Amino acid sequence: MSKGKVLLGMSGGVDSSVAAILLKEQGYDVIGVTMQLYEGGCCNLDASWDAKRVCNSLEIPHFIIDFRESFQKYVINDFICEYKNQRTPNPCIECNKYLKFGAMYEKAKKMDCDYIATGHYAKIEYDENYGQKVLKKSNAGRKDQSYVLYNLPKNMLDNVLFPLGEFHDKSEIREIAQKCNLPVAKKPDSEDICFVPNGDYKDFLERNSDIKSKEGNIVLKDGTVLGKHTGLYKYTIGQRKGMGIAYKVPLFVIGFNPAKNEVIVGEEKELYSTEFWVNEINLLTMDKIVKPMDVDIKIRYSAKAVPGKIMQHGDKIKVEFDEPQRAVTPGQSAVFYIDTIVIGGGKII
* Residue type at 163 in one-letter notation: P
CA–CA distance, 104 with 33 (Å, rounded to integer): 9
User: 246: burial class by Cβ within 10 Å (0-12, 13-18, 19+)?
Assistant: exposed
Centroid of chain to Cα 233: 20
* DSSP conformation class of 10: -
Q: Given its phi and psi angles, is residue 2 left (phi above 0), alpha (psi -120 to 50 degrees) or beta?
A: beta
Q: Which residues are catalytic?
A: 95, 194
CA–CA distance, 334 with 331 (Å, rounded to integer): 10
Q: How is 158-224 classified by DSSP, letter by letter?
A: GGEE-TTTT---HHHHHHHHHHTT-TTTTPPPP-S-TT-TTS-HHHHHHHHSS-----EEEE-TT--
Q: Which residues pair with 9 in a beta bridge?
A: 33
**Range list of β-strands (E), the chain:** 5-9, 29-36, 62-66, 115-117, 122-127, 132-137, 160-161, 216-219, 225-229, 252-257, 262-266, 272-283, 293-298, 306-313, 316-326, 333-338, 341-348
Q: Given its phi and psi angles, is residue 188 left (phi above 0), alpha (psi -120 to 50 degrees) or beta?
A: beta
